[in-house]
């Protein structure tokens, strides 16, 4: 007999928690970072092929899209680092109380934005 | 596998609208997931206008009111109404919980009620928990002692007994397991928070002599390590327990033990 029992709705209806948001962002930024690291390696090997390549890369990175790209990956790496620290603490068995997971989650989210701005200002020789 | 969309036969359609007939001024709209196995149709959302002036404080009271006064065809599990049996676990306002302990005042606006997520639906708000019970059985949730005597007590110190606090109170309502995205995608292999909390409960019981064997049994890429500390389980638990911490403790034991 055909099994016609429907599947109850899941991700469509489940309310996002701070902890689940941080968890999925951790995965997404992780994937982005791997792609970015590969790209950086490619750029480095391009540089070894001559100075023309340097020009092209420099032009791209100083364009508006390029700057947005750099800012984006700065955030992605900041998020990943903070979230990884949170994971390490959890692996030691700490920080599982609901309130604390919320606080550490918020620290990761706002901390990553703070770090991005910080790195941006460092790059601008603000300090 | 990660399957974000619902299958074709599970897509939810708009259902009937039950207008208030009491003339009350204090109305609340309650949207409830309905599926009738005999109809052959897709699930639908029925909307009920409920008179809140004559309704007690919990979500289960709303459901009882609807069943008694508006629509007797509504099907849902319930029994003790005191948060002890775990029958009325469902998804209310986007979060899993027990209808009998969840105050409806905590949900803003319309109240959306669905069965527990990512289960085969038997009827309306009743989900199929067979898979979870099979997994529960697989961890052999009973005492295994080498003690030969059948008449003597096995003593336990107060400290050892204390370790069971936060684990033995679980009522297996499945709120946590069905809130876990990892369990949604890998529910056939990953044991899920409810069963792992019980596995932990027997692993740390000082009277049990099979600790090593129990640990070995759950030490599996899919059974245990699919927990990515999303923590939906802990925030869903209606008894205030912490399955995520229990899973972390099992991982810690495995990382430090010699098996």
* Contact present, B93 and B112 (Cβ < 8 Å): yes
Per-residue model confidence as pLDDT tens digits over B90-146: 999 999 999 999 999 999 999 999 999 999 999 999 999 999 999 999 999 999 999
Report the CATH fold assignment for B130-145+153-256: Fumarate Reductase Iron-sulfur Protein; Chain B, domain 2 (1.10.1060)
Cross-chain CB nearest to A8 (options B40, B118, B234): B118
Q: Looking at residues A1-15, what average pLDDT do you find?
A: 86
Distance from the B23 Cα atom to the nearest Cα atom in chain A, whole angstroms? 31
How far apart, in whole angstroms, are the C-alpha atoms of residue A81 and residue B166? Answer: 32
State residue B13 phi and psi, 5-degree precision.
-105, 165
Q: At what angle do helices A64-91 and A51-62 cross, to 10 degrees?
A: 80
The tokens for A22 are: 């941080």
The domain A19-123 having CATH identifier 1.20.1300.10: the answer here is: yes
- The ipTM is 0.91
DSSP annotation of A6: P
Cross-chain CB nearest to B231 (options A12, A14, A17): A17
Cross-chain CB nearest to A5 (options B116, B121, B235): B121
In which element (H, E) is residue B235 found? Answer: helix B232-236
Closest CA to B229 of A11, A91, A29, A31: A91
Per-residue model confidence as pLDDT tens digits over B75-85: 999 999 999 99
A125 pLDDT tier (thresholds 50, 70, 90): confident
* Contact present, A90 and A96 (Cβ < 8 Å): yes
Residue A2: is its pLDDT beyond 60? no
* Contact present, A83 and A22 (Cβ < 8 Å): yes
**Token match 């740390």: residue?**
B204
DSSP annotation of A15: P
Q: For chain B, what are the domain ranges?
A: 8-127, 130-145+153-256
Average pLDDT, chain B: 95
Q: How many angstroms separate the Cα of A70 from the Cα of each of A21, A32, A97, A126, B170?
A: 23, 12, 36, 18, 48
Q: Looking at residues B15-41, what average pLDDT do you find?
A: 95
Q: Which residues contact B196 (CB under 8 A, 6 or more apart)?
A: B218, B224, B227, B243, B246, B247, B250
What pLDDT score was predicted for residue B143? 95
State residue A36 phi and psi, 5-degree precision.
-65, -45
B257 pLDDT tier (thresholds 50, 70, 90): confident
CATH code at B8-127: 3.10.20.30
Any B CB within 8 A of A1 CB: no
More confident residue, B109 or A2: B109
- Write down the pTM of the prediction: 0.93
What pLDDT score was predicted for residue A1? 41
Residues of chain B whose C-beta is under 8 A from some C-beta in A?
A: 4, 6-7, 9-10, 12, 33, 35, 37, 40, 42-43, 91, 93-95, 112, 114-122, 127-128, 179, 181, 184, 228-232, 234-235, 242, 244-245, 248-249, 251-252
- Beta bridge mates, B33: B45
Per-residue model confidence as pLDDT tens digits over A61-85: 899 999 999 999 999 999 999 999 9
Q: Are A6 and B116 a contacting pair at CB < 8 A?
A: no
Percent of chain B's residues with pLDDT above 70: 99
* Contact present, B139 and B202 (Cβ < 8 Å): yes
* Contact present, A60 and A66 (Cβ < 8 Å): yes
What pLDDT score was predicted for residue A3? 56
Per-residue model confidence as pLDDT tens digits over B177-194: 999 999 999 999 999 999
């Amino acid at each position: 007999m055909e099994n016609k029992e429907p599947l109850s709705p899941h991700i469509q209806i489940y309310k996002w928690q701070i902890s689940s948001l941080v968890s999925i962002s951790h995965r997404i930024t992780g994937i982005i970072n791997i792609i970015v690291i590969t790209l950086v390696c490619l750029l480095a090997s391009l540089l070894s092929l001559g100075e023309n390549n340097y020009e092209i890369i420099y032009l791209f990175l100083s364009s508006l899209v390029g700057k947005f790209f750099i800012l984006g990956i700065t955030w992605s790496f900041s998020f990943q680092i903070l979230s990884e620290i949170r994971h390490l603490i959890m692996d030691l068995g700490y920080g599982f109380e609901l309130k604390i997971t919320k606080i550490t989650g918020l620290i990761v989210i706002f901390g990553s934005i703070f770090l991005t701005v910080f790195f941006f200002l460092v790059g601008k020789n603000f300090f | 596998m990660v399957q974000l969309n619902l299958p074709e036969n599970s897509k939810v359609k708009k259902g009937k609208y039950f207008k208030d007939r009491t003339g009350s001024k204090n109305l609340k709209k309650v949207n409830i997931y309905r599926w009738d196995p005999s109809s052959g149709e897709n699930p639908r959302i029925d909307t009920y206008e409920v008179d809140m002036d004559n309704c007690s404080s919990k979500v289960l009271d709303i459901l009882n009111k609807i069943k008694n006064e508006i629509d007797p065809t509504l099907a849902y599990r319930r029994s003790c109404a005191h948060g002890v049996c775990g029958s009325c676990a469902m998804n209310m306002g986007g979060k899993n919980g027990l209808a009998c302990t969840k105050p409806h005042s905590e949900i803003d606006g319309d109240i959306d009620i669905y069965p527990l997520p990512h289960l085969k639906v038997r009827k309306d708000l009743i989900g199929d928990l067979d898979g979870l019970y099979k997994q529960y059985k697989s961890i052999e949730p009973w005492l295994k002692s080498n003690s030969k005597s059948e008449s003597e007590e096995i003593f336990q110190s107060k400290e050892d007994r204390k370790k069971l606090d936060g684990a033995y109170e679980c009522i297996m309502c499945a709120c946590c397991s069905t809130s876990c995205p990892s369990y949604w995608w890998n529910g056939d292999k990953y044991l899920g928070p409810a069963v792992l909390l019980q596995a932990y409960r027997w692993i740390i019981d000082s009277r049990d002599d099979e600790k090593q064997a129990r640990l070995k049994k759950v030490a599996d890429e899919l059974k245990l390590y699919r927990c990515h500390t999303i923590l939906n389980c802990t925030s869903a638990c209606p008894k205030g327990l912490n399955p995520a911490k229990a899973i972390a403790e099992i991982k810690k034991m495995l990382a430090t033990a010699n098996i």
